[in-house]
Chains A and B, each alone.
Chain A
Amino acid sequence: MELIDHLREYVRRSSITGREEGLARYLLEAWAPWVDEAWVDRVGNYVGLQRGTGGPRVLAAVHLDSIGLMVTRIEPGGFLRFLPVGGVDRRYLLGQEVEVLGRRPVPGVIGARPPHLTRPEEREKIPSYEELYIDTGLPEEEVRQLIAVGDPVVWRQELVELRNGRVAGRYLDNRASLAALWVALVELRRTGHGADFYAVGTVGEEFGGLPGAATAPVALGADVVIAVDVTFGEHHGAKEDHFPLDGGPTILVGPNAHPALARLMREVARREGIPHQVEVAADSSGTDAWAMQVAGDGALSGVISIPLRYMHNPTEVVSLEDIRQAGLLLARVVAAIDRAWLEEALAG
């Protein structure tokens, strides 16, 4: 399977916050050829271990979960009311195709009254959650048999190949990074490495206090933690805080990244000729690294990000080449980490 095939399989599996077990269990099988051991831990994180020849413990975290909705009410006629799970942008919900994960998956659409039946001022506004509902087309009785309050709702868009090595689809935040982590596993298996490398798919990054990231470094005794996530790709018309697609992954600089690790990432990228960009975050990186940095005794932390357009939209866009380069950068950085480097980094 090529990179895009892997990505398609990750995108095919929904993994809304709180229900990540399907994707985690899929990785147990799919990544088995590239890891020495793998398990799902007690909070639901996927953990795959590639043993090194001797060195520190390096953990790379990619969050498995993605945003979505949750059913809150079944109304007369079988229409479903819902609330967001994670940072849902209400602007695009209207007219969206969704899937309700009931006893079996039920397709639905998010409806509202047509323009003919709304007042002009209503058409200027983004509908509130009270006005939006899911229509499954099923009679109420059947809806009540299939669907319960609390059932997750996910977007339906599968992966679409655009021109120029770019892809669009649901949940590329953070399946793009999952594909990059696979690239790194493949690469590290080929080159060998000293550090014990833990590839971790974390739960609960989009919503709910980062339980996966807060606990995995403690359970694994990680010395170095690296979050791989997506960042803001160049948006047509926007001027700031964005990174061109195909410009390579970003390397985070700021309080959430240990300076020695950020420096190592940039040196490795330069030496290996990996295109990259520097991303500055003056506060939290908005990734798993925020919790991982201070989990347990704390760890040296860093962040590698893949530029992505239309974040949290069902048609997010990324470049396959950026995914490949992010994976390559991660692999080379992990391979460069040994005990001497760690001691020097800790000594400042």
Chain B
Amino acid sequence: MKELLAQLTAAWGPPGREQAVAAAIADLIRPYVDEVRTDALGNLLAVRRPRGAAGTGAARKLLLVAHMDAPGGIVTGYTDRGQLRFAPVGGLSLVAAWGQRVRFADGRLGVLGGEPVDDPKEVKLQNCWVDIGARSREEAEAWVRAGEFFVLHGELTELGSRWAGPALDNRAGCAAIIAALRRLGDSPWEVHLAFTVQGQVAPRGARTATYQVRPDLAVVVDATPAEGKEGAAARLGAGPALRLKDGGWALRPAARAALERAAAAAGVQWQPEVLPTGSTEAAGVQSVEEGVPTGVLGIPLRYRGTPAEVVDPGDLEGAVAWLHALMSQEPAPELGTGAAGGA
């Protein structure tokens, strides 16, 4: 799991520029699926047809969703001294990124910094820049063009028994799906995987991916903030989280029943999560076409949006076991016929 996570966190992929992550994931999953393709938006979509004693009739469709993108920035201009002005893209924490290394698509490094400040509250976009070591504006313009993206730079490191690194939100979610897929045997489902674009921005890629699949059940796998003070927040190391409610979405009984049954089958210790704010792609997924029963499986994560996000291997392992059980088990009766009654 650590190698998988290291490989995924090393891939470069700010929102809207996820191609390298998609290519890495495509190579990892190809041996285990029947089809892999990329859609117009850049989502990586894969299908694994049912294995084992197949029932009669068309198999039900299970869709697992994880966004691939990670917070970063986009260059908007230059200072006279050769630093880069930028705009954050997708949940970049300026305070956390201040003084950290950033990386452009070609591997060029920069440092996110700015005017000296005494109080972190004074760290504002207006007094921040990315320093690429250029001695002049001309040099900076020659090295990096306006419109180029960067991500937070760092590598996966061991932190006691835990792991710290950039982009774990949501490469940890991608890794959990990939690991569960690798050990999957018989499955009654037609399993669809969607590694989506622009999940840090809004439920954009996930919407179009769901539209293409029209699943009977969807599960969004995403990093979730650990140790929050409000509501019932997840704790790191206490197992994967089942999200019951967040800032704009509530879990409904059909999806909940399917997820709880899978957790029980796999003996996964999970934690309930109730949040006053925040969101995942679930709100977008659930309202596609005739509607999709949708659940959110959260991987607790500390220090979101920084180059040193922290996850617990036990939580990840729990998520893998949970997803594996979900893909292996018969579709829950609560999902109904999938058809709109007698209409």
Where the two chains meet, the residues of A that have a C-beta atom closer than 8 Å to any C-beta of B are 17-19, 21, 37-44, 47, 49, 70-73, 83-85, 148-150, 203-204, 207-212, 214-215, 218-220, 291, 296
Contacts and interface: CB of A to CB of B under 8 A. Distances in A.
Contact of B291 (A17, A148, A211): A211
A38 B216 CA distance: 21
Contacts of A84: 276
Contacts of B272: 148-150
B293 to A, nearest CB: 6
Contact of B283 (A19, A38, A208): A208
Interface stretch (B73-81, B91-99, B250-258): B250-258
A73 B245 CA distance: 14
A49 B340 CA distance: 12
State the majority secondary structure of interface residues on B: loop
A80 to B, nearest CB: 11
Contact of B343 (A83, A220, A291): A220
A214 B289 CA distance: 8
A74 B133 CA distance: 54
A132 B341 CA distance: 44
B291 A215 contact: yes
B98 to A, nearest CB: 31
A43 B293 contact: yes
B185 interface: no
**Which of B216, B244, B272, B283 is the most central at the interface, judged by chain A CB atoms within 10 Å of its CB?**
B244
Of B232, B254, B276, the most chain A CB neighbours within 10 A belong to B232
Interface string B281-312: 00100111111110000000000000000000
A282 B242 CA distance: 39
A324 B248 CA distance: 34
Given A43-B293, A210-B287, A204 B250 contact: yes
Contact of A150 (B216, B249, B274): B274
Given A47-B343, A49-B343, A17 B250 contact: yes
A149 B244 CA distance: 9
A254 to B, nearest CB: 23
Given A70-B244, A85-B245, A208-B283, A43 B291 contact: yes
B336 interface: yes
A208 B249 contact: yes
10 contacts: A18-B250, A40-B341, A41-B290, A42-B292, A70-B244, A209-B287, A211-B287, A214-B291, A218-B289, A219-B340
Given A38-B341, A40-B336, A203-B252, 5 more contacts: A40-B341, A42-B336, A49-B343, A70-B244, A210-B287
A83 B231 contact: yes
Nearest to A47: B341
The 9 A-B pairs at the shortest CB distance, nearest first, are namely: A39-B341, A215-B291, A43-B291, A18-B250, A150-B244, A214-B287, A219-B290, A72-B232, A149-B272
A21 B230 CA distance: 28
Nearest to A41: B340
Interface in B214-268: 216, 230-232, 244-245, 248-254
Contacts of B160: none
Residue from the set A71, A83, A85, A210 with the largest chain B CB neighbour count within 10 Å: A83
Contacts of B278: none
Given A41-B340, A47-B343, A219-B343, A296 B289 contact: yes
Contacts of A209: 248-249, 283, 286-287
Contacts of A41: 290-291, 340-341
Nearest to B242: A150
